[in-house]
Chains A and B, each alone.
Chain A
Amino acid sequence: MSELSGRWIKDQIIPYLSPALKNILFELKEEYYSILEEIRLRCGKPLILKLGNKDYTVDCRGRVIEDLKKGYQVNREDIYRTVASISDSSLYAFEEEIRRGFITVPGGYRVGLAGQIVMQGDEIKTITDFSGICFRVAREIKDCAKPLVPYIYSSGTILNTLIISPPRCGKTTILRDLARIFSTGVHRSHSVNVVVVDERSEIAGSFRGIPQLDVGPRTDVLDSCPKAAGMIMAIRALSPQLIITDEIGRREDVEAILECVNAGVSVISSIHARDLNELEKRPLFGELLRTGAFRIGVVISRREGPGTLEEIIRWD
């Protein structure tokens, strides 16, 4: 997969950090930003940058080092100021996002939050006393899914496809690119209406309902919408030809997929599993595969970097 410009990522993320962290990370070379996957702030612990597959820290002079003990220690003020900055000092405006554990900032970057969880009955009401923040860099890599298109798109039909991989292998990036490709049109006249049911705001990286990442001109996004309800709502209201959703996992998701498939709508989704064997061992998904709802399985890994195509499985 190709990589986003380091400068772009630097300009997008740095303004959200506390002034002390800003000063340190501003000194960092752009080449580090181009392979940056995560920035983790934990109260009283060293600042951690995930560069590629490895964790590093940064010392007070902005040097990237491996020894975490020598790294800059994040303090409560860093956390408080960073939370204030990402929320524009308006936590009340992000209640729903905080309840789900993350805030998406302009640019589509997801900021995960940790802290004291306040419950109301059986449900999470909010998070207070923030203790940890995780910036995940959203990778928009155009055409990364192009090699998959000949398998998924056959004689004018988009085949129902399941992308199988463990976490952090590039599933979401591939789904986003597939949405863009099919929405724009594989060939000039073969564009379709796409609905992205984006339960965790990761595919389209929506900020206040507006997709921040390119999902194509004929794509509607149901942001923060539960997958099962979103798929049914999309069929009724938005007449899609293709529905794309991330990380199916519950029985209602499986039922909604069957509903879509039997309504003549193509579905592309992803699921966590190392390979097909592992997936078949899970009773719910073994059952789903046996229904023949999905025609193509795509197994990806990180063997040669995120998005390494391991296997294409045909179920027809």
Chain B
Amino acid sequence: MFAKVLGTAFIMAGFGGWGLLGARRIEKRVEQIKNVRLAMGFLEKEITYMHTPLSRALERTAKFCKPPVSHLFRESADRLKAKNGSTACEAWMSGIKVIGKTSELKRSDIEILTAIAPQLGMSDAGEQRKIFTLIQEELRIQEESALQEMESGRKLWSYGGFILGALVVILLL
């Protein structure tokens, strides 16, 4: 009897925890999209108002934001500073690879960030402003849709985990 109770508790805790983690992942994605958007605003100001060279602007943006979003800017800055012939586009793409692995961002979020790569730094301040305004707007839309997803998904994941756990327990009993 004791073993059954213990087993039930383990299964419920396991599935419940898994569900809660899933819910947290959805929440984190919203938070990270927001952080990326704010970081883009910071980078835009460094570029268009301060005219800071890109490697330094990326480095300062990395300091401005929290991990894992900061990894994108840190990796790009390091790659550019290495002066090994990399273009801004290649440096940015290497940063995107890192954030793709370390964050909860989805493919559609990453695609928005990828779109900026060929134009990054390679036009005048006016053009750069337009590009950054556009990407921030796209990130805002993405953030809203992620927020809606979170509203419905969070409950589904948090309750879903426990329900699934209970189902498994019933089946096993």
Contacts and interface: CB of A to CB of B under 8 A. Distances in A.
Interface stretch (B27-35, B84-92, B106-114): B84-92
A126 interface: yes
Interface stretch (A84-92, A166-174, A193-201, A289-297): A84-92
Q: Give the contact-size bracket for chain A.
A: 20 to 34
B87 A88 contact: no
A88 B54 contact: yes
Given A88-B53, A89-B91, A90-B53, A18 B85 contact: yes
Given A84-B122, A95-B125, A128-B123, A89 B54 contact: yes
B87 A84 contact: yes
A15 B123 contact: no
B124 A126 contact: yes
Interface string A73-99: 000000011001101111111010010
Contacts of B91: 89
A286 interface: no
A88 B120 CA distance: 11
Interface stretch (B44-52, B59-67, B155-163): B44-52
Contacts of B51: 90, 92-93, 95
Nearest to A127: B124
A45 interface: no
A15 B121 CA distance: 19
Given A90-B53, A92-B48, A92-B51, A15 B83 contact: yes
A81 B53 contact: no
A19 interface: yes
A89 B124 contact: no
A92 B123 contact: yes
Contacts of B53: 88, 90, 93
A174 B51 CA distance: 34
Interface residues of B, number: 23
A100 interface: no
Interface in A137-153: none
A95 B126 CA distance: 10
Interface string B49-81: 001111101000000000000000000000010
> DSSP class of A's interface residues: helix, strand, loop or mixed?
helix
Given A89-B80, A93-B52, A93-B53, A81 B85 contact: yes
B121 A92 contact: yes
Contacts of A80: 87
B37 to A, nearest CB: 21
B57 to A, nearest CB: 8
A81 B84 CA distance: 11
A206 B28 CA distance: 48
Contacts of B125: 92, 95
A89 B121 contact: yes
A209 to B, nearest CB: 13
A48 to B, nearest CB: 21
B120 A89 contact: yes
A29 to B, nearest CB: 23
Interface string B109-150: 000000000001111110110000000000000000000000
Given A84-B87, A85-B85, A90 B124 contact: no
B103 to A, nearest CB: 24
B80 A88 contact: yes
7 contacts: A88-B54, A89-B80, A89-B91, A90-B121, A91-B121, A91-B122, A92-B125
Interface of A: 15, 18-19, 22, 80-81, 84-85, 87-93, 95, 98, 125-126, 128
Interface of B: 47-48, 51-55, 57, 80, 83-85, 87-88, 91, 120-125, 127-128
Q: Which 6 A-B pairs have the closest CB atoms?
A: A89-B88, A19-B85, A89-B121, A92-B125, A90-B54, A90-B53
